[in-house]
Structure 1
Amino acid sequence: MAPSSLVERRTIDVVPESERHGTPLNQFTLWFGANMQITAVVNGALAVVFGADPLWAVVGLLAGNLLGGAVMALHSAQGPRLGLPQMISSRAQFGVFGAVVPLLLVILMYLGFAATGTVLAGQAVNEIAHTDSRPVGIIVFGALTAVVAVLGYRYIHALGRAATVLGVVGFTYLMIRLVATHDIGGMFGAKPFNTATFLLAISLGAGWQLTFGPYVADYSRYLPRTTSPRTTFHCTLWGSVIGSQWAMVFGVMLAALPARSGGFLDNQVGFMGDLGGSGAVAMLVYLVIIVGKLTINTLNAYGGFMSILTTVSAFTSGRRVSRAARTLYIVGFLVLSMLVALLASADFLDNFKNFVLTLLMVFTPWSAINLVDYYLISRERIDIPALYDPSGRYGRWNAVALGCYVVGIVAQIPFLSQTLYTGPVTKALDGADLSWIVGLVLTAAIYYPLARPRSKAPAEMIYPDGFEAATPQPAA
């Protein structure tokens, strides 16, 4: 473990101005690097696998990434003003205990993504190590994730910058190789426009971006309070959208290859390595895969730790934990994810991944409530000390927010298009998935008129006592 001076000291407590650092550009590189990775490539490929023409798949994915990216970037813009992790701030809407309800589902999502991502990255580790031992790759990758997540915020952003550079170089090379060896242009526009598959491509892009909502502000909360929310918004938006769209377009191209050249979805890591070439070049491709997956897996581990601590602290009224406890939370979460990755069968992992994707329906209503309350009702005025006090301004439970949240989830069921369940409206629309639109729009429409008259927002922002006078500490 790194020396204690290197390890982040803040957790779910507010970050004082004396410890703020960085620029919004760090948001661009973090989210660009986190999205330039193999799972985003698979997400883009699915648009073609499900029947979309490559041309309209690219257009639909871009529309979805922009729409979903705007929602997640609005969450990111909260970070500098509040100095808080994302899910702590949702106590202002749901109540100190009420916020635990979406939190439990968020933790499950992080666990699922961490486990399935570890399996994928472990394959790339094994290729570099020249071993067929599945546990070796999983354990090595899990250990790498633990190191960065324990070190914390500053090192996560440093990893994002490295992933950005490697991602640009690696994916540029792979796309040049792909275009040089296949007639890519002839694959676009071969099929007529189809509304259902176009809407599905939009949903794939939007759903991808919306999964970042519950933890995006965790990585902007150290920015100085004077940082422009608009600048934070745009740096987060364009980093996430450009990185994900680039990777997804590459996935579209791979999925559009003739059947004799295909096989990407059956052997994603190996296919990309073979496309890169042999020897040292293939090893570099595997390194690009590992660093990209390490970035997003670290975000899952860090976000999972934050969510677990936020859940526990709701009932203990705690704000901070020791570095040792923080390390144990993170390592424990990652050990659990590695056990799932090691012990589960391939069928279980596929089913678990589908279950996690179905859970996406719980995040759109949460985003709608959080954003409507913060920007339109509270107007960026939060009583931060009350977020830690069940007897304070925001109380234990907020029946209005929880009720709207449940309605927003239930209303999406007829519109779902997932492996585990397809709703009747979706079937009538030939598979077009509109659930995320319903979850956002309907929840916002019913929450605003019900919550506005009952607003608990203070007249101005309230920070903890001594917030400005905090003793300067080494940057996290």
Structure 2
Amino acid sequence: MFAMTLLGLGWVNCGADYSRYLPRTSNGRAVTWWTTLGGVLPPLALLVFGVLLNAGDPKLAGAAAADPVGALAAELPTWFLVPYLLAAIGGFASGAIMDIYSSGMSMPALGIPVRRHLAVLVDGALMAFGGWYVLFVSPSFFATFQAFLSVIGVAMAAWTAVFLVEQWRRRHTGFELTSLRALGWPAVLSLAVATAVGLGLVTSGDPHIARAVGFLLTDGAARGTLGAMNLGVVVALAVAAALYACTASLAGRPTSGGTR
């Protein structure tokens, strides 16, 4: 589930985003493959490195799970700390910029009547809160990172399902911008319901986040294999797709004013 979230669902919005700038004659398979390879290869290299690190030095791997920056930096020579710090800052800044840029489209794409700069502001505030939580509140980086992947994976799965179903519908009705609805309540409803159901079926090793997830699981299931599977990601994908497919045609009449 983590691999599917990190290497798959997390890149759907990126493929949908940057393809807007490509010519209309661009091959859809090429867009998919470029996005897939670009999103998978770098994390895959890091995953292989992590496996080798864990097998070669379990003690260091355990320390990195709680404090990755401090644990890994301690093994570096002194002269390497400056480029290491610059790379860490650059990676955080670039990731934040990319996330804010891409996710600023998410709420307008669902039909929520909010201007894009306000959507970006909401996303930036959420990112700032997440950074503060990881630095000053989280008891373990690894547990919080897993919880982040689970929670964001559920929401991203629901969003992806709505997006793909809408794309499938548009292949039959056309992609004219003037036919967009003013308020896509079926998309918002599908996203909200699927996310709520999915969060009830995932668990978290972070004690603070654990209070908000897993509420549909019994204590035994939450501590067992079912809880560890994070099945809520797949369930959210299926629920959102089914719900939106059934309700999309019930939306109000489309607007004729184009996009904002």
Give the TM-score normalised by the residue count of structure 1: 0.41
Partner of residue 268, structure 1 = 68
State the Cα distance separating 1:384 from its structure 2 match. Answer: 0.8
Aligned with 2:233 (options 431, 436, 447)? 436
Are positions 1:374 and 2:174 aligned together? no
Residue 290 to residue 368, structure 1, CA distance change in 2 (3 Å): same
Find the counterpart in structure 2 of residue 361 from structure 1: 154
Which among 86, 93, 101 is matched to residue 302 of structure 1?
101
| Per-residue deviation, 1:372 | 1.7
More helix by share: 2
Greater C-alpha Rg: 1
1:390-435 residue CA offsets vs partner (Å, 9 max, x unmatched): xxxx243434x44443442343245312231333355453522221
Equivalent residue pairs, number = 241
| Aligned residues of 1:378 and 1:455 also touching (Cα < 8 A) | no
Matching residue of 1:132: none
Question: What's the counterpart of residue 247 of structure 1?
Answer: 46
Q: Is contact 1:383–1:457 with CA below 8 Å preserved after alignment?
A: no
Q: C-alpha distance in 2, partners of 1:426/1:343?
A: 24
- Separation of aligned partners in 2, 1:233 and 1:299: 19
Deviation track 1:179-221 (CA, whole Å, cap 9, x = no partner) reads: xxxxxxxxxxxxxxxxxxxxxxxx1111224234445433332
Structure 2 CA distance for partners of 1:267 and 1:330, relative to 1, 3 Å? same
Pair 1:382–1:426, CA change in 2 (3 A): farther
1:292 aligns with 2:79: no
Distance 1:283 1:229, change over 3 A: same
CA contact (8 A) 1:415 1:434 kept: yes
- Structure-1 residue corresponding to 2:185: 398
- Residue 408 of structure 1: which of 194, 197, 208 is its match? 194
Structure 1 residue 229, shift from structure 2 partner: 1.2
Q: What is the alpha-carbon distance in structure 2 between the residues aligned to residue 278 and residue 439 of structure 1?
A: 46
The Cα shift of 1:304 comes to 5.0
Alpha-carbon distance between aligned partners in 1 of 2:74 and 2:82, rounded to the nearest angstrom: 10
Preserved CA contact (<8 Å) 2:197 2:236: yes
| Cα gap change, 1:362 to 1:259, in 2 (>3 Å) | closer
1:372 corresponds to which letter in structure 2? Answer: V
Q: CA deviation at 1:225?
A: 1.7
Alpha-carbon offset, residue 464 of structure 1: 6.1
Mark the CA change 1:247 to 1:303 in structure 2 (over 3 Å): closer, same or farther: same
Residues 134-155 of structure 1 deviation map (CA, whole Å, 9 limit, x = unaligned): xxxxxxxxxxxxxxxxxxxxxx
Distance 1:224 1:265, change over 3 A: same
For residues 213 and 416 of structure 1, do their structure 2 counterparts lie closer, same or farther at Cα, with a shift above 3 Å needed?
same
CA distance in 2 between partners of 1:413 and 1:332 (Å): 21
State the one-letter code of the partner of 2:71: F
One-letter identity of the residue aligned with 2:225: L
Cα pair distance change 1:415/1:309, threshold 3 Å: closer
Q: What one-letter code is carried by the residue in structure 2 that aligns with 1:429?
A: T
SS in 2 for 1:366: helix
- CA distance in 2 between partners of 1:414 and 1:330 (Å): 27
SS at match of 1:416: coil
Identity %: 20
Give me the whole-angstrom Cα distance separating, in 2, the residues matched to 1:311 and 1:447.
Answer: 11
Over 3 Å counting, the alpha-carbon distance change for 1:402 and 1:415 in structure 2 is same
Q: Which residue of 2 aligns with 1:417?
A: 203
CA RMSD of aligned residues (A): 4.3
Deviations 1:413-467 (A, max 9, x none): 453122313333554535222211112234324543x257669999xxx9969xx
2:3 matched to 1:205?
A: yes
What TM-score do you get using the length of structure 2 for normalisation? 0.69
Higher relative contact order (CA 8 A, sep 6+): 1
CA separation in 2, counterparts of 1:253 and 1:214? 31
* 1:365–1:405 CA contact under 8 A, matched in 2: yes
Compared with structure 1, are the counterparts of its residues 305 and 441 closer, same or farther at alpha carbon in structure 2 (3 Å cutoff)? Answer: closer
Q: Which residue of 2 aligns with 1:224?
A: 23
2:233 is the counterpart of 1:233: no
Q: In structure 2, do the counterparts of structure 1 residues 403 and 298 end up closer, same or farther at CA, with 3 Å as the change threshold?
A: closer
Alpha-carbon contact 1:368-1:440 (below 8 Å) kept: yes
